[in-house]
Each structure stands twice: as C-alpha cells, then as structure tokens.
Amino acid sequence: MNKILKKTQLSAEVFEMEVEAPLIARERKAGQFVVFQLGSDYDERIPLTIADADPERGTITLLFQTVGESTLKLSRLNEGDYIANLLGPLGKPTDIRKYGKVVVVGGGIGVAPAYPIAQAMKAAGNEVKVITGARSKDLLIFQDRMKRIDPDFIIVTDDGTAGRKGLVTEPLKELCETWKPDLVVAIGPGIMMKFCALTTKPYGVHTLVSLNTIMIDGTGMCGGCRVVVGGEMKFVCVEGPEFDGHLVDWDNLMERQRTFRPREQERNHKCRMMMGLPEVKR
C-alpha cells in the first residue's frame, strides 16, 4: 500500500501526486516508470511516469491524465488515501552522460517524463536547452521546473495563448541549424515524436524518443507494447521506453495505437457519464 501525501490538479485533466514509495524512490533513475493497480486483481494495470523522486523522504511524484476508467478513479483519491499496488521502477533508464549540447523537447503530458531527463542531463555537465509544447496555455505543465534547468526555455502552443504559436519542431529545427546539438530527447504524442525525429535526421543529430504504448504487465510477458525498431521487434516495457527515433517504425506504432483508441474513447465516455463528469471535447 502506497499512501498519497500530496495531490495537485494541474489542469482539467492532469493531476500530480506525491506518493510514499521508499524503495522505488531509492532505486529510480531518469526515464523509468511504474505500473499502478488500484485495488482488486481485476483492476487495470496502468503505466505512469516517475516525474520526480525524493530518496530522503521516500517519495515519488506521479503525473497522469484522466483518459480512462482507472485514471479517473485515481484522480478521485485524495491525500491520505492509498494506491494498493505500485510496481517499479520499470524500463531501462536514460543513458545519462556528458554529450555536450542536449535539447529536451516535451509535448503535452510528455513534459513530465522530460523533466527528470533534462535535470539529469544538466547534472551530468551538459548544456541543456528545453522546448515545451501544448495545445493551449491551460495545458502547459512543469513550467517553473523547466525554467530552473533552462531559464530561456522555449514555450510553443498550437493556439498561441502562450509563447510562440506553432509546433515544437519549428524551434527544434532552428536549434539544429544554429546551436547544433549533440543529442535531442523528444517525449510526447507519437505524431510529435515522429516529426521531431524527421526534423533532426537531416542534421545527423542522435534523437531519443520515449514511447508510450499499450502495457499490461510491464515485464515483457504480454507483448502488448511491442514496436518495430530498426526492423526488429522490441518490447517497450523491458527494452525501452527509449529508442532511437530515426529507427522507429512510426507508421506501425501509430496503427497499433489507432486499433485501441476507439475502445478507449468509448470506455472513457461511459466512465465519465457514470461518474457524473462532463465529456471531454477534443
């Protein structure tokens, strides 16, 4: 049982929780994640990013978006409540070392996993520049934390309500041309990561992406998270979540995501109606 110590609602759909998990806090490294299960053996197992950790306090910070039944139930828990099962840290940690110049791009909820990576890259002696993007100002997260890493970090919104109006690929291309980074780390929606990889490829900049796929067990048993990288099948939960963005078969990845999306949307709609919540407009 893992006690919720702090809960913060960052936007209409996004929540941040600080949770007691001393063993995970001690072992966690940037780029890893956990799988949570709320109660019974019949509840879903959902992967969540470890957005931060405090080994001294024995806590980890989880960030999640309410996109289905389990995350909606999790959002209804409050400080003092418990998460029944929390498995982690899972996945391979980010390869943190001194590359030289590193650009970290976070899109939407992907800013949460991007933050500890940017933090670790700077601690390793790299020059770090940060780009964050969202559909609108209300959906931007972790801005104060990113500013501590890069005081001049770039904000991009689709509608122009904050920062530059446009896509994260635009300032990324500018940095590839003028700043000439040695590494780019991009985390966000699949389509965003795909075009970040396409943006950096002509410049020969090594690009890591963190893939968010369907997962059940998180230990490589179910095969639901399989992706094709460099022509070979990989399991995101045990061989990732990070891969070379120039080698990912993006069409295969997004086709698999589209296969599950109608079911997720239908279940999310029914769940919101049962819980008396308004329907999310996309």
In a domain, 136, yes or no: yes
What domain range is 84 assigned to?
A: 2-90
**Is 148 found in the same domain as 48?**
no
Give the CATH number of the domain where residue 14 resides: 2.40.30.10
What pLDDT, in 10s, does the model give residues 16-26?
999 999 999 99
| Structural domain ending residue among the three candidates 210, 227, 261 | 210
Same domain, 70 and 114: no
**Considering the chain, what percentage of its residues have pLDDT values greater than 70?**
90
Mean pLDDT over each residue of the chain, to the nearest integer: 88
Q: Give the helix ranges, DSSP H, for the chain.
A: 22-27, 69-76, 111-123, 143-149, 169-178, 190-200, 236-239, 250-274
pLDDT score of 263 more than 60: no
Q: Which of 31, 62, 90 represents a domain boundary (last residue)?
A: 90
Q: What number is the average pLDDT over the span 180-195?
A: 95
User: Is 71 found in the same domain as 172?
Assistant: no
Mean pLDDT of 101-123: 95
The whole-number average pLDDT for the span 245-264 is: 77
Does residue 170 sit in the same domain as residue 111?
A: yes
111/86 same-domain check: no
For the ranges 59-68, 199-208, 269-278, the lowest mean pLDDT is seen at 269-278
Sign of CA dihedral 18, 141, 113, 73: positive
**pLDDT > 60? residue 268:** no
Among 188, 210, 232, the domain boundary falls at 210
Residue 272 pLDDT level (bands cut at 50, 70, 90): very low
In a domain, 276, yes or no: no
- Looking at the fold, whether 181 and 108 belong to one and the same domain comes out as yes
Assess if residue 238 is contained within a domain. Answer: no
